[in-house]
Chain A
């Protein structure tokens, strides 16, 4: 009895000693940075800070099973891989999600959560109230440089189902901020913009602006949006760029730089918009 007690006491006494010895041995293996290095670490954090994820990108596995699930999933595919799933109607290599980032759920990147409730909406372009279908056709004929979707076709139905699903409470998206960041009106200079483009954009989009379709979007040329698209308006692209680009360091350009680079991209050749589609 007493021997067990002594053993237990010894064990209690020895445990901290072994812990300290083990700790010291572990420290020998650890190469701590020198003081100046530590200081540099504190004062110069990586510019690629993790961006707190305040939204959840659409996840196909969370689409509810039911009669509409097939349509929602098709809509999600069309939205994120438009040239593949709506190839008959699009004329370039852009996907909806190239501008409506993260499947249309991201603040200040033209989010579409809640979109079905916004229509009918007065359109400055059409000078009348338009429906969501009309607005989709505008995107298809301008940003996608394509031909209108059949109004009762599976593609249009699928996109509407997808937006409806995004906007349901059950999809548990926090409602993102609508549209783009607001910017004061400024003048963009394409010459200054060329410098910004070379330093910040050309790594991915390429010096020729052609991107790598369908992974990295083209900004001009045959694979890009046409000159009727919203992105071809300098102010709109500047607002998009200011919040969302460059993707490895968003938020680092000044509004003036965003205007400059948008003016540079707009000065490059784009396909022509067919004004016959003004009916939408």
Chain B
């Protein structure tokens, strides 16, 4: 993984004005947000946060049970958020974490109050609006005891923006018997470098479902969120659907540490390299019994590209049940012929299979977002990329 040359990006002085009504955004920017799963129609969202470049420009909760604010305000209000901030990630881990510590531009603090069942998704978007902007954000999410929420976190460039750098720290706290679904959709540009550094902890009886969708090209992205399942009877599930067109370099995956008995986790990644490179990591560690983990990395190379699957299982106690299934290849001939026997020509058969491979129904996304993702897949298939 190449290092991001920080001197190429402007990490200071790129402020944006506050936006009271997201409908005031340009049509193009609204479209860009939609591609990252974020809608300007707030009636279907319980809270919204929008960061542009180095300013948080919009932040509003429609639900008393959801507290959402600029991380800087939260640090002030909650005395530095000492209980949470930098508790899961070492602030000296690398130059990107240091940058986010030393020169913090923003990010969100989301707290869902104990026992609240928040039905409408909470949405946040971190956007690169200016050319060559560098963005350091720190996000903290706390789902209090017994609460339930779905957070859609989109990351996007503005229309026409090509180059930028996004360094995002995210620390997730799923408390006892709480349930969190996160859906992250990335919509970066050809020349954007992305370094999320994420970690989370799931307490007793907690549930974390994490969806990740990347269908647009990005120059290089490196992320490897680590989730620790600290409490008994906790569940974690990860679904990723990722495409790397020509020019994209992705080093990504999930790491789960099952650190309590009666834990279950599943990591499923479906990746397509269509000219780009994907390093698909997966790591499940289990230190107690009973515990059950399954890791799946399915990779298709269409035309050119590289997929390097690195599945790792680490059991440290007798009786742990860990398994993995990894494959890297092309579309199976017998699948193509099956569809050709039904009258599809080879191209139709291929695109039908690819469409199925990228199917995100399992994620249970809101309809509007599902439609948007379906549209992106169609566009991707219609282009020469695949």
Q: Do A and B assemble together?
A: no
Residues in A lying within 8 Å of B, measured CB to CB: none
Q: Which residues of B contact A (CB under 8 A)?
A: none
